[in-house]
Every structure is written in C-alpha cells, then in structure tokens.
C-alpha cells in the first residue's frame, strides 16, 4: 500500500525529531555541599580517596577558577537562573518556614530545559523555598523531585528541627536509609526507568547533602580512614560515600549506553567550612561564608566524551551562572528569558580552548558587600554586614546522636567574618598571590579606582535581599 505523501512527510519529520533528540546530550549536574577545594584527588587531595570523582575529572576538563556563592541557597539560585544574586535577591540561606524563596518571576534552568524537550529531575537538596507550593521543585520545571528542601537534616532519620524533611514529587515520604545512598539509588532508578522509551534527553540535577553537617556516616565508609582523627575522619567517610554514589550513577549511565552522550558537570556549592581542620581549601584563604577565594572558588570540572577534551585543566575564570546558557545551548533550546542572563555560554571555552567569556566577574555577599575579579586582579569591598554569615547552615548543630565514635554534633566553624577588622577595601593579584596574603590597595590606587568603578556599576541596581523584613 502506498503511503500518502502527507503522512510520509509527518513520518519523516517525526523521525528527524527523534533523531535530533537522541543526539542531544543528557545533562547531569553533581553539586556537593560544603566540599573543600582541595579535598578531592583531582585538586591535590591526598588523604581522602575519591576514585570515581577523579576518574570523571580526568575524562574532562578541570575548572581551576570556577566561582560560586559563599553559601548554598545563593549558589543554587545562581545555577537555576543564570543570574547574580543582585538580580534575584537570594543573598542568603532559605531557612525552614521562611516566607520567601527564589522569586517566581525567575524562569528556572529546569523550565528552560523542559521547554527544550528534556525530562527533568532533581534528587537532592532544593533549598530555594517551600512555604507555598508554587516555590516547590515540581512547580519550577522539574518533572521528578526526590530528596529534601533544606540542609543540616539527620542523614539517617531525615529530620530537621524536629520535623521530617523528605519528599517524592513534593509529597511527604517516610523512608529509611542514609541520604547519600538514597539519592544515588533514586538517580539510578530514573536512568534505568528510561530504558526502551523513545529517546528524550534527561536533565538530572543531583545536589547531595553530603558532605554538609551533621557529620554522620555508616561505619563501612570509615574503615579506610583509621589514619585520620575526629571530625576529619568522619568527613572523609562522608566524602567517600558521595564518591561511591557518583560512581553508581555514572555506572548506570554506562550500562544504559548513555554515558558517551552525557555532559557531566561537578561542583561544590561553596568553599569548605572550618578549613585546615575539617576541610581543605588549599592554597586559598578562609572558607565558606567569605568572599576570599577559599569561600567562593569551588572544586569543579566538566566532561563530555568527544566534545570536551580529557586530561585538561583551565584557570580561566567562570561562574556557576554560566551553566544556564551553556546547557540551553547544548539542548538546542531558545533563550526565551523574561529577565536578562548574566551567565555566558562556556562551550567555546570548554570545547575549543577559547578564553573565558567574561571580562569581569561579580562575587557578591549582599547588596553592598561584594568583590569583583577582572583578569588577575580582585577587589574586595568588605563594608556593611553580611546578609548571612553561614551560621545556622555551616555551623548548624542537630540533636542527632553520633553514629560512630568519630562523630561530633557536626558543628563546623565558618569564616564568614574573616577580614572584618581589616581594611574595607582589599586588592589582590591572584596570579601572584592566590592565597590573598598581601593587600595591594595602598600600592595600586589606580587599579583600586578602576575596579571600584566596575563594582559600582554592578551594584547600582542591586535588589534588596528577598528575606522579608520583620
């Protein structure tokens, strides 16, 4: 029987559409909570074994100057919007019961990729608002949600502040298990569930609560770390659990025949808290909650077989805001943004070795307390007070009992107020002084003036914090 020409055209177009979908990569984002810059092997770590993470890093390009926000909710907002905190008002941590979140006017990365034909899923910590249903992940572009809304929940009971914080598709869920393992299991289940279905690319966002406090881990992960003591040993076990979880997810992609067609991005959400005792941010100064490099330069890499060169490292400065336009570009989506993006696509840099798409980067902690990096130079303006110093997130304690002799209550001292007693203006040459040890502001007044003007241009239209006033 002869097929009518109109039907033949429809079949041809449908085939082309399915083929195009199958050629677009899956996108997987691993976000590790409170990870120190130098705790993984790929960034020089030696006392904690991260073979799965290191293998992925070796298969792609390590991003030696990948910037994030000083604390976690603002980093997640920047990733989800491609916009700086001065646009969204998310300068601080969204706490349980807070009557605010990522503004609803923001079109999220999940929505943009869903509009481009992707299946979208989050397995992990949301931390961008939950006081109304419109702020929940399934209302912000995710087809699937699994995990928790806040940080500092008990890893075994999933309780935060006396209340359960565990959900599937934004419905309360009672489930036993260690959260890091549960998140990996869910991601693997999603990957396997797609077997045999028509080709539709997947956006899988896995924001682990590991290695955030409270410091809790099953005993099996501690066995290799007899040489470490106290909280560092427990932290090592928690990172080993994250490493194993990432290995599981990557293995599921490989078994499904999808690994070669998957763009994987790995990052921390901020620098490590309590550096040099709990975490390692070497060679950088300070840690979580600060605008020093130890607080905002994250351990990061990207791999995409055949597209992003393997075994490479770049020190070109980039920001987590850049993944929004990068992912939309590889997805073949249209920007369709109601609000302008600050991020720039990293594809030319990642695939062809081009320079960073930025002349400068804004590094912001509040509408007045901020820094700017332009080339090798960085100016910090440490005026005013921080909207949030990270306490209650980095330093939160819980009533969770210790699960092994190596655990304390999970209190991790942050460095948010580091430098407050020093000069309000600090200038550093990061190429010569990555540890920010010598303030050159007095010696380089011309450079200070130049960067002050640039910083003023960034901050002149900064929106206030999204936190409602009392």
- Which residue among 40, 66, 127, 319 is the active-site one? 127
List domains and CATH numbers for the chain: 24-362 (3.40.720.10)
CB 303 within 8 A of CB 59: yes
Of 277, 280, 278, 296, nearest in space to 288 by CA? 296
Q: What distance in Å separates the CA atoms of residue 255 and residue 372, rounded to the nearest whole number?
A: 44
Active site residue 72: yes
Q: What distance in Å separates the CA atoms of residue 269 and residue 196, rounded to the nearest whole number?
A: 35
Q: What distance in Å separates the CA atoms of residue 460 and residue 455, rounded to the nearest whole number?
A: 9
Which residues, at least 6 apart from 325, have a Cβ–Cβ distance to it below 8 Å?
A: 82, 335, 341, 343, 344, 345
Of 104, 111, 121, 135, nearest in space to 29 by CA? 121
Per-position pLDDT tens, the chain of length 470: 343 434 333 332 333 343 355 589 999 999 999 999 999 999 999 999 999 999 999 999 999 999 999 999 999 999 999 999 999 999 999 999 999 999 999 999 999 999 999 999 999 999 999 999 999 999 999 999 999 999 999 999 999 999 999 999 999 999 999 999 999 999 999 999 998 777 799 999 999 999 999 999 999 999 999 999 999 999 999 999 999 999 999 999 999 999 999 999 999 999 999 999 999 999 999 999 999 999 999 999 999 999 999 999 999 999 999 999 999 999 999 767 889 999 999 999 999 999 999 999 999 999 999 999 999 999 999 987 664 444 445 433 322 333 332 333 333 333 334 444 446 999 999 999 999 999 999 999 999 999 999 999 999 999 999 988 65
Burial class (CB in 10 A: 0-12, 13-18, 19+), 322: buried
Of 169, 230, 182, nearest in space to 210 by CA? 182
- What is the side-by-side order of every strand in the sheet holding 66-67? 297-298, 66-67, 318-319
Provide the CA 315 distance to its chain's centre, in angstroms.
18
- Which residue among 40, 72, 144, 303 is the active-site one? 72
Query: Against a cut of 0.85, is the pTM above it?
Result: yes
CA dihedral in degrees (69, 72, 77, 83; nearest 10)? 0
- What is the side-by-side order of every strand in the sheet holding 144-148? 171-172, 167-168, 144-148, 119-125, 202-207, 26-32, 262-268, 300-303, 61-63, 312-314
Q: What distance in Å separates the CA atoms of residue 125 and residue 372, rounded to the nearest whole number?
A: 29
Q: What distance in Å separates the CA atoms of residue 362 and residue 365, rounded to the nearest whole number?
A: 10
CB 56 within 8 A of CB 246: yes
- Please give the sequence-ordered ranges of beta strands (E in DSSP) within 149-271, or none if there are none: 159-160, 163-164, 167-168, 171-172, 202-207, 262-268
CA dihedral in degrees (48, 53, 56, 58; nearest 10)? -20
The token duo for 302 is: 């990207």
Of 346, 406, 246, 283, nearest in space to 36 by CA? 283
Pairing of strands 312-314, 61-63: parallel
Active site residue 227: no
Q: What distance in Å separates the CA atoms of residue 70 and residue 292, rounded to the nearest whole number?
A: 9
The token duo for 455 is: 């910083």
Pairing of strands 144-148, 202-207: unpaired
């Amino acid at each position: 029987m002869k097929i009518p020409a109109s039907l033949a055209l429809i079949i041809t177009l449908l085939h082309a559409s399915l083929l195009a979908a199958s050629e677009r990569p899956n996108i997987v984002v691993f976000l590790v909570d409170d990870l120190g810059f130098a705790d993984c092997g790929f960034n020089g770590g030696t006392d904690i074994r991260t073979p799965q993470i290191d293998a992925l890093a070796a298969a792609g390009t390590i991003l030696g100057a990948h910037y994030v926000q000083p604390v976690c909710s603002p980093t997640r907002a920047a990733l989800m919007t491609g916009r700086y905190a001065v646009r969204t008002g998310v300068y601080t941590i969204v706490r349980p019961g807070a009557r605010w979140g990522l503004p609803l006017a923001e079109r999220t990365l999940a929505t943009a990729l869903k509009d481009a034909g992707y299946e979208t899923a989050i397995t992990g910590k949301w931390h961008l608002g939950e006081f109304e249903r419109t702020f929940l992940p399934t209302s912000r572009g995710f087809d699937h949600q699994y995990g928790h809304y806040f940080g500092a929940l008990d890893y075994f009971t999933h309780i935060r502040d006396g209340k359960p914080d565990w959900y599937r598709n934004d419905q309360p869920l009672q489930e036993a298990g260690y959260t890091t393992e549960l998140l990996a299991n869910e991601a693997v289940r999603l990957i396997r569930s797609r077997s045999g279905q028509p080709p539709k690319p997947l956006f899988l966002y896995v924001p682990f609560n590991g290695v955030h406090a409270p410091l809790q881990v099953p005993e099996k992960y501690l066995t290799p770390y007899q040489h470490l003591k106290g909280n560092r040993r427990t932290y090592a076990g928690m990172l080993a659990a994250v490493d194993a979880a990432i290995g599981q997810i990557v293995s599921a992609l490989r078994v499904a025949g999808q690994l070669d067609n998957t763009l994987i991005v790995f990052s921390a959400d901020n620098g490590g808290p309590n550096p040099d005792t709990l975490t390692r941010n070497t060679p950088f100064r300070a840690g979580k909650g600060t605008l020093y490099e130890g607080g905002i330069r994250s351990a990061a890499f990207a791999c995409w077989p055949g597209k992003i060169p393997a075994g490479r490292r770049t020190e070109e400065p980039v920001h987590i805001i850049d993944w929004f336009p990068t992912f939309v570009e590889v997805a073949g989506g249209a920007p369709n943004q109601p609000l302008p993006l600050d991020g720039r696509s990293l594809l030319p840099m990642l695939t062809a070795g081009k320079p960073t798409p930025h002349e400068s980067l804004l590094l912001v902690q509040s509408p007045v307390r901020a820094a700017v990096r332009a080339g090798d130079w960085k100016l910090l303006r440490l005026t005013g007070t921080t909207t949030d110093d990270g306490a209650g997130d980095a330093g939160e304690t819980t009533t969770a009992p210790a699960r092994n002799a190596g655990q304390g209550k999970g209190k991790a001292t942050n460095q948010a107020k580091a430098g407050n007693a020093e000069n309000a203006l600090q200038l550093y040459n990061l190429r010569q002084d990555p540890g920010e040890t010598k303030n050159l502001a007095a010696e380089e007044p011309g450079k200070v003036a130049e960067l002050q003007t640039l910083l003023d241009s960034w901050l002149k239209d900064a929106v206030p914090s999204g936190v409602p006033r009392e």
